[in-house]
Amino acid sequence: MKKLINLFWVFFKIGAFTIGGGYAMLPIIQDEVVKKKAWMSDEDFLNSIALTNSIPGPLATNTATFVGYHLMGFKGALAAMLGAITPSILIILLIASAFEHFADAPLAQALFEGIRPAVVALILYSVIKLGKSVHFREKCNWLLMILAFGAITFFQVHPIFIIIASALFGVFIREKI
């Protein structure tokens, strides 16, 4: 029971103190799960991100659920998922009850303007940190990354198709290279 409460609390803190969505939460989740708690290796964490990106739902919630399941099965998945979503639910209820009264206030607008660049910085940090565990010495990884980026950026290919195509590449083509 103590482990479940600990798991809930770790993801509750992450959910409560991270602004910007799943990608902004990744470096914080990684720091807690890999470095501080040593619940997973960097490679296992990257694999969990790859998996949770390929299924529907919010990234942070899916990641929390995966980590919880990895550690303690269904009960761990439930504890981690509830820990990750409870702060958002509470914060949204609080904001929704007061938003109409302050949304157009200059102070609120200034706060939102200040938060946006910080969120972009957190997402960029996450990309760099996760990118370190990809084996970029291998030319096919560079090629796959460039092709995926180009398909999304220039041809507006949906990310789920990129993930599926990349997985198929890994299974069928990469082994033959």
Give pLDDT tens digits along the chain (177 positions). 898 999 999 999 988 877 767 777 888 888 899 999 999 998 888 888 888 877 877 888 888 999 999 999 999 999 999 999 999 889 888 888 887 777 788 888 898 889 889 888 888 888 887 777 776 667 778 888 899 999 999 999 998 899 888 888 888 876 666
Tell me, yes or no, if the pTM score tops 0.85: no
b/e for 95-124, b at 16 or more Cβ within 10 A?
eeeeeeeeeeeeeeeeeeeeeeeeeeebbe
- Output the six-digit token pair for 5: 């409460």
Burial tier of 165 (Cβ tally within 10 Å: 0-12, 13-18, 19+):
middle
Residue 156 tokens read as 């507006």
